[in-house]
Amino acid sequence: MPELSENRGFFARLKQRLGSGAAKVSGGLRSLFRGRRIDAELLDDLETRLITSDVGAEVTQGLLEDLRQRLSRNELGNVDALMDALRDDLAAILAPCAKPLHIDTAHKPYVVMVVGVNGSGKTTSIGKLATRLAAEGRSVMLAAGDTFRAAAAEQLTIWATRTGAQIHQQQAGADPGAVVFDALQQARARGLDVVLADTAGRLHSQSHLMEELKKVKRVIQRVDPTAPHEVLLVLDANQGQNALAQAVAFHEAVGVTGLVLTKLDGTARGGIAVAIARRLGLPIRFIGIGEQAGDFGPFDANAFANALVGDNGTEGAA
């Protein structure tokens, strides 16, 4: 099946990119520890590696405690078994968050409000999502609600041209709520399937800008009280534990319903996905591992855990 092959290729690239640097958790956990015996020193090294991989201290302690209990029961006879158990524990934490974005056709248009801090890859993620939706045969409207950064509207225009999506934008500095309101009205009148509403990037600590985001959400609800049907938060994985703080703040402000974790091809260590899963349990809809449209795919807990820990001789789930 083409989709199965595509997913396998995507997760193979994820494994390669998460494991390409010594700073990353998979930068060879399995190869780093292979040949060593399981002792206190190895567990200390593993603890350090997990914490510096953005898994976080609290989650790391829970993982290590489980591994120690298994060791005490003589369930783990060698390092490979220890790494397999770690991978299984990570996958168990991530599994409840592996929920793909579902476009409910009962809502037309289905409204996705996209939020995040500056530089998180928000506008690019919208373009990549539009590409996926167009490939599924859905009609899409892009709402250029980031009216403060001129390049944002230009980027969306390029993506609209590439994907065949429609776009609504107004002059620079226009009220973001008005832009999104008009886009929804147009999409409804034209019978379009999905509206992807961009919003200006903002630091989660800027309370006045977070209030503005709440206003945009209220404006959307004037058109459709059930909308937005998805509030998608885009997080830069390079931000590490700061990404967790962003997720908490945006969730409190606008009720995040899904996450996109981007830039896993950079210096990101990947473990932040585990920390967010444990703390918030929010669905991770997509991950991004590069600039191309094909470097954006649905989140898979088993494949991600396998990429974090390193090769165990099996394919990641597709």
Contact, 234 vs 260, CB < 8 A? yes
Tell me what pLDDT residue 20 has.
54
Between CA 14 and CA 16 the distance in angstroms is 5
Tell me what pLDDT residue 313 has.
47
CATH of domain 110-299: 3.40.50.300
Residue 127 in tokens: 């373009």
Tell me what pLDDT residue 118 has.
86
Tell me what pLDDT residue 64 has.
96
Tell me what pLDDT residue 103 has.
97
Q: CATH fold of 2-97, please?
A: Four Helix Bundle (Hemerythrin (Met), subunit A) (1.20.120)
Helix, strand, coil abundance in the chain, percent, nearest 5: 55, 10, 35
Cα three-residue angle 78-80-86, rounded to 5 degrees: 105
Q: What is the mean pLDDT of each run of 10 residues along the chain (318 residues)?
A: 59 68 52 81 91 89 95 89 93 96 96 93 94 96 88 91 94 89 97 95 73 93 96 92 91 95 77 92 93 87 87 44
Tell me what pLDDT residue 10 has.
77
In the chain, domain spans: 2-97, 110-299
Tell me what pLDDT residue 291 has.
80
Question: Which residue, 168, 213, 206, is CA-closest to 190?
Answer: 168
